[in-house]
Structure 1
Amino acid sequence: MKTAVVLGTGLIGTSVALALSRHGVLVLLEDRDPDAARTAASLGAGTVLVPEGLEQPVDLAILAVPPAHVARTLRDAQARNLARAYTDVCSVKGSPAAEAASLGLDTTGYIGGHPLAGREKSGPLAARADLFEGRPWVLTPDQGTRRDVLNRALELVSLCGAVPVVMDPVEHDHAVALISHAPHLVSALMAARLEHASEEAARIAGQGVRDVTRIAAGDPALWREILTANAGAVADVLEDYAGDLAAVIGSLRSLAKEPNSPAGEAAAEELVARLRRGNAGQARIPGKHGAPRAAYAAVPVVIGDAPGELARLFAAVGAIRVNIEDLAIEHSPGQNVGLVTLYVDPDAAPGLAAQLVERGWTVQN
């Protein structure tokens, strides 16, 4: 790939452009908001496409627009003969492909794509060239997709450092409803409970609620587009969820009314059963490098909230020759300290804790 056009210079489009530019691809940029395109160009993502267009088609056009705009953007790009091949990066695949077919477009030169990466921030200023490194990137070819178009899309995925995954469009939409779109709504609804929470409740909010509500910070306008395009599949997931939620509420009401009765005992067992189902589902989320999720031991370390403290802790762990598999950081309310929980191999945890204490660190039991 020598040349590309990115249509839409938000977070994803600009990140794609930065990744391609880093590999020497000549990238041209266009956005309905000229300021967004100029901002992306100023970041080194490419050059703004001039109104006169191109002398000859580029190798690939990347449509970085919301799902509802993909087909119309593809129609406009094909009418201008912008590229030899076209792909998109939106998070819904079925409806854009169906609309493109209904408009009579040449779908043999187009392949759907969805990089499963993002940030809570939006716009070109939030873009990163390494946003897709190691992340799945779904491609949804159909029987009519030309081989050269598939190969060009695979090259795009490779240049962005992502991992290609080929899926059927309908299967993809059901999958992202389960693992992305419905969770975002659940996170937003949980975060909404905090809007009118007391100051005391907000002050003691810890890592648990931060984890559950992190993705609720997403752009509502963008999520309106996503949820509209995949509404049926998301509704199916939430309908099942609503049934589980109603059953849990019933169990909790029974426990509140008669905690020590046979009915209360049955309700408690029902809650435990559902929590175990949650354990089983969470265990299916892949671990490092796509391998089965491993069980790690937690080593909680208290650190000061000061420059260099986290680096000093990492250096100490490195000197002890222990690999950090994962970590979590929780800030203490009202104090300039935090708790860093290091997740390491269970066999290494006792020795790591002991040696950190010897080096002056406070390790919680």
Structure 2
Amino acid sequence: MKQKSAGIAVIGVGLIGGSIIRDLQKNSNRFGNIYGIVDDPSASYAKNRGFIHDTLTYNQLPGKVDFIIISSPIFTIAEISQKIHNAFENKPSNKKITIIDVASVKSSIASTFENLTTSQLEFIATHPMAGTEFSGLDHARLGMFKGKPWIISRHKKNTDEGISQVKSFIHFLGGRLKELDAEKHDTYAAAVSHTTILLSNYIFDFLSDRYPEALDLAGSGFDSTTRLASGNPELHNSIMHSNTKTINKILSEFKVFLELKSSVDELPVDYFSSNKEKRDRWLSKKTIVQDKDK
């Protein structure tokens, strides 16, 4: 976003939407006013907290904003996108409007976005791989996306101009840009994020049910391993229902893998040292990539 934005609308001012706004507020001269949507329950609270300039109806968006971020729950995105489309169809803007989402599942959203994209409105599917186990505006923080992967999943109607604008926006927020088609994104996200949420919950569920007294002895290792079990239940449910097939496939593969590793006395003598080396190499590579982006 090299030119000044007319204004930005953020629909869904929770952890991710609020954290985006915190970064945008560092350079308000570049991005203009930040708005919420009247019928978004989080918007009035965000306005009272000084996160947004004002709230608008969907029909007031044309002429006020040229960049829209949908950071609402996954199951609401299709309906919100249609409302945006209808608003600008009824009152065309003299500028091209870019709309992005930040949801953690991309296939269904990219398909919806392709259907709604026109010469005036460009919907682009994105996903920042960032967050915490906490939810809500009160936990939004500056620098949430710095050094974190931020994926763009193109569809057939996306333009180089629109993608370039979104790339510039992501770079401003400090994200590490990566392009993946929607199907591959959903596979990778299921592997490193969605199944991790499940496993964190499964471990805590199992131990709290079978060995509840042992929890009194749990230390920081157990805390970090089960941290995601304290995450947003609504978000977790929507992820599982939106990416079910891929998550189930990876869980089935993991089940077979776990059965092969289930007998501790059959583990290779160098199993832990070998796995430590693999993880240390991964961490080192990850650190190098992040340092290059600074």
Amino acid at match of 2:47: A
Amino acid at match of 1:56: G
Select the structure with the greater relative contact order (CA < 8 A; seq sep ≥ 6): 2
Aligned to 1:22: 26
**Could you tell me how far apart the structure 2 residues matched to 1:54 and 1:292 are?**
38
Match of 2:250 among 233, 237, 245: 237
Q: Structure 1's 130 and 236: CA in aligned 2 closer, same or farther, altered over 3 A? A: same
Q: How does 1:58-207 map to 2 (within 5 A)?
A: 58-81=65-88, 84-101=97-114, 104-106=115-117, 109-196=122-209, 200-207=213-220
**Could you tell me how far apart the structure 1 residues matched to 2:131 and 2:202 are?**
20
Segments of 5+ residues of structure 2 without an aligned counterpart are: none
Matched, 1:44 2:50: yes
- CA deviations 1:163-190 (Å, max 9, x no partner) are 2111111111111111110011001100
Q: In the alignment, is the contact (CA less than 8 A) between 1:23 and 1:159 conserved in 2?
A: no
- CA deviations 1:201-225 (Å, max 9, x no partner) are 2222122211211111111111110
Aligned to 1:257: none
- CA deviations 1:8-56 (Å, max 9, x no partner) are 111111111221122112211126443x212222333212323361351
Q: In the alignment, is the contact (CA less than 8 A) between 2:110 and 2:154 conserved in 1?
A: no
**Could you tell me how far apart the structure 2 residues matched to 1:17 and 1:115 are?**
14
Amino acid at match of 2:20: V
**Could you tell me how far apart the structure 1 residues matched to 2:178 and 2:209 are?**
42
Aligned to 1:285: 282
Q: How does 1:293-312 map to 2 (within 5 A)?
A: none
**Could you tell me how far apart the structure 2 residues matched to 1:284 and 1:96 are?**
34
The answer to which of 52-61 and 272-281 deviates more is 272-281
**Could you tell me how far apart the structure 1 residues matched to 2:236 and 2:189 are?**
13
Shift of 1:161: 2.0
**Could you tell me how far apart the structure 2 residues matched to 1:288 and 1:29 are?**
39
Shift of 1:85: 0.8
Shift of 1:142: 3.1
The answer to which of 7-16 and 147-156 deviates more is 147-156
Amino acid at match of 1:50: L
TM-score (normalised: structure 1): 0.68
**Could you tell me how far apart the structure 2 residues matched to 1:33 and 1:19 are?**
21
- CA deviations 1:140-173 (Å, max 9, x no partner) are 1234211221122112212222221111111111
Q: Tell me, what secondary structure is at the counterpart of 2:151?
A: strand
- CA deviations 1:90-115 (Å, max 9, x no partner) are 011111112344xx322671111111
Q: In the alignment, is the contact (CA less than 8 A) between 1:100 and 1:107 conserved in 2?
A: no
Aligned to 1:5: 9
Amino acid at match of 1:171: K
Larger Rg belongs to? 1
Q: Structure 1's 284 and 75: CA in aligned 2 closer, same or farther, altered over 3 A? A: farther
- CA deviations 1:38-75 (Å, max 9, x no partner) are 22223332123233613515221111122232222111
TM-score (normalised: structure 2): 0.83
Matched, 1:56 2:63: yes
Q: Structure 1's 221 and 277: CA in aligned 2 closer, same or farther, altered over 3 A? A: farther
Shift of 1:136: 1.4
Amino acid at match of 1:144: K
RMSD between superposed Cα atoms in Å = 2.6
Q: Structure 1's 119 and 141: CA in aligned 2 closer, same or farther, altered over 3 A? A: same
Q: Structure 1's 201 and 248: CA in aligned 2 closer, same or farther, altered over 3 A? A: same
The answer to which of 65-74 and 229-238 deviates more is 65-74
Amino acid at match of 2:24: L
Aligned to 1:326: none
Amino acid at match of 1:87: I
* Percent of matched pairs sharing the same residue: 26
